[in-house]
Structure 1
Amino acid sequence: MNLIWTGLSEAMQMILSMDPEVLEITWLTIQVCLISTFISTIIGVPIGMILAFKSFPGKRLAILLSHAGMGLPPVVAGLWVTMFLWRAGPLGDWQWLFTANAIVIAQIVVSLPIIISLSYSAFKKIDGGMRLQLKALAPTKTQSLVLYLKQAQFGIWAAIMAGLGRVLAEVGAAMMVGGNLQGQTRILTTAMVMEVSRGNFEIALALSFILMTIALILTFILLKLQQKDVTV
């Protein structure tokens, strides 16, 4: 119990003292997580809608892969991203390996299947009668898109929150593709693993409290946005 209080005290000291390294790690964590979640959202939600409403060859396989991808081990995602970004890999010319961009890509890989799958489920839950009513109104494609998004908005926000939670907790892929380089690719989760390996449990606990605080704040913001949209 003393270890927990020591970790909490250490976290407060780090925050109040405005420790430059902790602030840098925290800010990079927020950046890569928000960017990867945003990109996964703008890609995943349309794909989920297409899977829900369109028929095409290979649709069942695409749905199966999106559902199976929800359980994709982060280290597997990290391995594939590393191979693609390696000097001899297909994207080696980008020279993104061991950079923040590589972490963003890895986080997209682990969060995208979650957002696709949950968005698909949200759109599939739209009542069939409601869909017929919408078609009877003969709306334009843009109007139909807006109406379907409004009907599925609760599930879409849930998908975004699930995707964000996945990237905030991700460590294996980030460690593999980012290398946990100080001042460049070190984020809260990889820093925690490093401190535990050094036996600095108080610092690791302090970083965990900071990460949980960020997760709570971002989740609270998304919940408020979800409730605001639902009540519109």
Structure 2
Amino acid sequence: MSDSTSALQLVLTGDPTLMAIVWLSLVVSGSAVVLSAVIGIPLGALIALTRFPGRETVIVILNALMGLPPVVVGLLVYLLLSRSGLLGPLGLLFTPQAMVVAQTVLVTPIIAALTRQTVEDLWAEYREELAAMNVGPARRIVTLIWDARFSLVTTLLAGFGRAAAEVGAIIIVGGNIDGFTRTMTTTIALETSKGDLPLALGLGMVLISIVVVVNALAWGARRAGERYAG
């Protein structure tokens, strides 16, 4: 039986090992995106609607953080969570929670930067209308976030795609422990290096399927936003 056939069989039969790895990956990436949304969406909207000294510098830094090298993030989070680190007493290193932290650090700048651009564009369009209605700063943020909800769904899906495909940071802080912190990307890297291709190929098929679904949802969200605006 060829490696590709064996891989397809693992996927179609719902191999327990493969499904456990997929489930952990989805939980870790999903949790990271939720935390990033809670932090990034209000932060991006606040920067978009607030004028303060050094604002342009903050925007440049935020945009630059979108390209953070995952291995550097992994190293910084490792130092933070290690026994001698600031959060060492929490004992989070080499746990799924540590991987969530690392992915949150990676995804938050992406969500915040894209939210800032989206809300700023809407603010330029509706500024006079909102000013005429005497809408306060807090209500402006809420109103514009709600109006941008379809675009923000696309932003969140982009963040999820980034998190789900990440390997460098989570392998450093998670340790790639079998049955505990082994995700799709870290398993693919490990199994390929071991020459165990069926499991690696099977997880690759699932990962590609997830990427396709995420992109389809993002496209659907954009289309829904266009219909709503029209």
Output the TM-score relative to the length of structure 1: 0.89
**2:62 alignment partner, SS class:** helix
The 8 Å contact of residues 29 and 187 in structure 1, kept in 2 or not, is answered as yes
Task: Say what the alpha-carbon RMSD is for the aligned residues.
Answer: 2.1
Select 1:29's aligned residue among 22, 25, 28: 25
The 8 Å contact of residues 32 and 101 in structure 2, kept in 1 or not, is answered as yes
In structure 1, C-alpha distance between the alignment counterparts of 2:7 and 2:136, rounded to whole Å: 53
- Given the superposition, is the C-alpha separation of residues 58 and 136 from structure 1 closer, same or farther in structure 2, using an over 3 Å criterion? same
**Between 109-118 and 85-94, the greater mean CA deviation after superposition:** 109-118
In structure 1, C-alpha distance between the alignment counterparts of 2:124 and 2:209, rounded to whole Å: 41
The 8 Å contact of residues 106 and 174 in structure 1, kept in 2 or not, is answered as yes
Which ranges of 4 or more aligned residues in structure 1 deviate by more than 4 Å?
A: 140-143
Match of 1:215 in 2: 211
Q: Does structure 1 residue 176 correspond to structure 2 residue 150?
A: no
Select 1:14's aligned residue among 10, 28, 36: 10
The one-letter amino acid of 1:158's match is T
Match of 1:87 in 2: 83
Match of 1:132 in 2: 128
In structure 2, C-alpha distance between the alignment counterparts of 1:63 and 1:129, rounded to whole Å: 20
In structure 2, C-alpha distance between the alignment counterparts of 1:231 and 1:218, rounded to whole Å: 20
Q: Does structure 1 residue 189 correspond to structure 2 residue 209?
A: no
What aligned pairs does 1:45-124 form with structure 2 within 5 A after superposition? 45-124=41-120
The 8 Å contact of residues 151 and 225 in structure 2, kept in 1 or not, is answered as no
In structure 1, C-alpha distance between the alignment counterparts of 2:17 and 2:84, rounded to whole Å: 33
The one-letter amino acid of 1:17's match is T
Gaps of 5+ in 2: none
Match of 2:140 in 1: 144
The 8 Å contact of residues 40 and 115 in structure 2, kept in 1 or not, is answered as yes
Offset of 1:24 from its aligned partner? 0.7
In structure 1, C-alpha distance between the alignment counterparts of 2:12 and 2:178, rounded to whole Å: 21
In structure 2, C-alpha distance between the alignment counterparts of 1:21 and 1:203, rounded to whole Å: 9
The one-letter amino acid of 2:172's match is M
Give aligned pairs, total. 228
Offset of 1:37 from its aligned partner? 0.8
Output the TM-score relative to the length of structure 2: 0.90
In structure 2, C-alpha distance between the alignment counterparts of 1:215 and 1:31, rounded to whole Å: 15
Gaps of 5+ in 1: none
Offset of 1:142 from its aligned partner? 5.9
